[in-house]
Amino acid sequence: MNAQLDENVLEEALAEGLAGIASDALPVSDKDFLKAATEALESVGGRLLFSMRTGDEDAGEHVAAGCLGDGDARQILLLSQPVSGGQLKVEPASKSGNPLSGIAASYAALMDALNAAA
């Protein structure tokens, strides 16, 4: 798949790749979420920017940021899921209300600058 995919198709492909850890009954570990997010992003030609856990034990959330493409064609996505298990959410960072969406875009730009300087 290329980076110019329709956003809905891309979101569905990523959600499908992460479906294996989307359980309503079982907690999701940091390791399982990171592995699934990385594999799902790589399956659509993307790469992981970062993954973190936010909140506390009871109301925590796993959040990963991913990037597809380069330059003007780049798409930045947020993947999130409650630590307690349940619904997985995949969304373009540009349309997300998650506070980490701005960090994802800034981090991608920082990585571009560091790669150019290397």
Say how many domains are in the chain.
1
Report yes or no on 1 lying in a domain: no
Domain that holds residue 66: 7-117
Question: For residue 40, how many other CB atoms are within 10 A of its CB?
Answer: 26
Total-model pTM? 0.79
- pLDDT at site 111: 84
Nearest to 71 by CA among 7, 4, 13: 4
Report yes or no on 22 lying in a domain: yes
pLDDT (tens digit per residue) in 30-74: 998 999 889 888 988 899 999 999 988 778 999 999 998 887 788
pLDDT band at 17 (very low <50, low <70, confident <90, very high): low
Residue bearing the bigger pLDDT, 5 or 91: 91
pLDDT at residue 102 is higher than 70 = yes
Instruction: List, in sequence order, the alpha helices (H) in 1-118.
Output: 7-18, 30-43, 100-117
pLDDT at residue 98 is higher than 60 = yes
- pLDDT at site 53: 95
63 CB-near residues (< 8 Å, 6+ apart):
51, 52, 53, 54, 78, 79, 80, 98, 100
